[in-house]
Amino acid sequence: MHMSRPIQLRSLQTIVPDIVLEQNAVRDVFAAQPELSRLARRLVTASFDGSGIETRHSVLTELDPSQEASSTLFYDRESGSLLSPGTKTRNDIYIREADQLYIAAARRALDADPDLVASDVTHIVTVSCTGFHAPGPDYAIVRALGLSDSVERYHLGFMGCYASMPALRAAAQFCRADPQAVVLVVSVELCTLHLRSSDDPDQIIAASLFSDGAAAGVVTARELPTPVPAFSLDRFHTAIAPEGERDMAWTIGDSGFEMVLSTAVPKIIGENIEAALGPLWAEDDAPSAAFDEGRIGDAVQHWAIHPGGRSILDHVQDRLHLSDAQLQPAREVLRTCGNMSSATVLFVLKHILEESDARAGERVTAMAFGPGLTAESALLTVLGEE
């Protein structure tokens, strides 16, 4: 179906929990754990110091020395010991904390839109890989915001850091099928619930990167009267680098969810980035020609690359010859918020809209990586008053 109006992503909103984790302080706690080997201590220091992160956020009050801890499940302040609660305990906290963030982010996105209200919403797509429960967050949003019981609800669970991209793609497909659809997309990730002390290099890298955050936006093709900062969702593409299947994975253990994130991931992404992104631009003359000539950064001005870590951004920048300014939104989100799994790329897109002097008509490439090794990408255009 040809659509005369663009399918737009608008009213992007983000939330981080109140607990701020200073990277240096968290590093010192992890490095001081008595069970760590000397090699593991060195790896903790190198991973935390080389992460490109200064602050992260968490829902766990006991990790913030300025607040009175309501429990001692993850960290004993007197002994300085990191504890390892079971998966059920971690998931119970997820159920309580995540639903509050889902509702708050969804409400904030709707409140930010000058033309849409709760009764306009026809679909909800929720995203998370850090907890499970049913009825889930999609149900919680419907009840809390007073949406119609007939709103179509979909949850993308346990896909990993790239999951907000297929959520946006699904939302765009709903809008192609029904040009009057209004789709609320909400991602909440509470990654700090699964951090633990370990000699395992994968767990150490995860502990140095992951954090908590929430993001929400509205996807619609409706003709609305008020121009607002937004993106048109032009095209999506999925690619797999099967040689990285064992280098990035996400499984459920007895003491929380367990991340496999090997040091080979940035190199694999760098080696596959051109093949993964090429089809995204193939139908556009200017990006396609620029890509063939090795100057894709000239044709695509903005880059919402999921900051899975500093080294990933370095490899992408070097391989595609992007400027420091083009990677600044991703690096800034990493610096201030860490890796919030699926929510992170939405933080980067919001940064581009609000803080990068983006002008109507400029192109954006968004890309996120996850288990598989899967790369999900999208081509967008900045909307607004010309």
Give yes or no: 191 in active site: no
Residue 25 identity (one-letter amino acid):
A
Q: To 5 degrees, how large is the angle CA 236–CA 242–CA 243? A: 135
Phi, psi of 320 (to 5 degrees): -100, 0
E-only strand ranges, 301-342 = 302-305
Q: Where do we find the tokens 């060195």?
A: 42
Find the largest Cα–Cα distance for the chain.
Answer: 64
| CB contact at 8 A, 372 and 245 | yes
- Which helix (H) or strand (E) segment holds residue 145: the answer is helix 137-145
Residue 92 identity (one-letter amino acid):
D
Q: Residue 360 carries which DSSP code?
A: T
Residue 220 identity (one-letter amino acid):
T
| CB contact at 8 A, 365 and 303 | yes
Collapsing DSSP to helix, strand or coil, 150 comes out as coil
- Which helix (H) or strand (E) segment holds residue 239: the answer is strand 230-240
Residue in 161, 175, 191, 337 annotated catalytic: 161
Q: Residue 221 carries which DSSP code?
A: -
What is the three-state SS of 53-80?
A: CCEEEECCHHHCCCCCCCCCCCEECCCC
The rounded distance, in Å, linking the Cα atoms of 177 and 1 is 8
* Per-residue tokens: 282: 């193939």
Sort 146 into a burial class: Cβ within 10 Å, 0-12 / 13-18 / 19+.
exposed
Q: How many residues does the chain have?
A: 386
- Alpha carbon dihedral 338, 342, 344, 348, in 10-degree steps, equals 160
Enzyme catalytic residues: 161
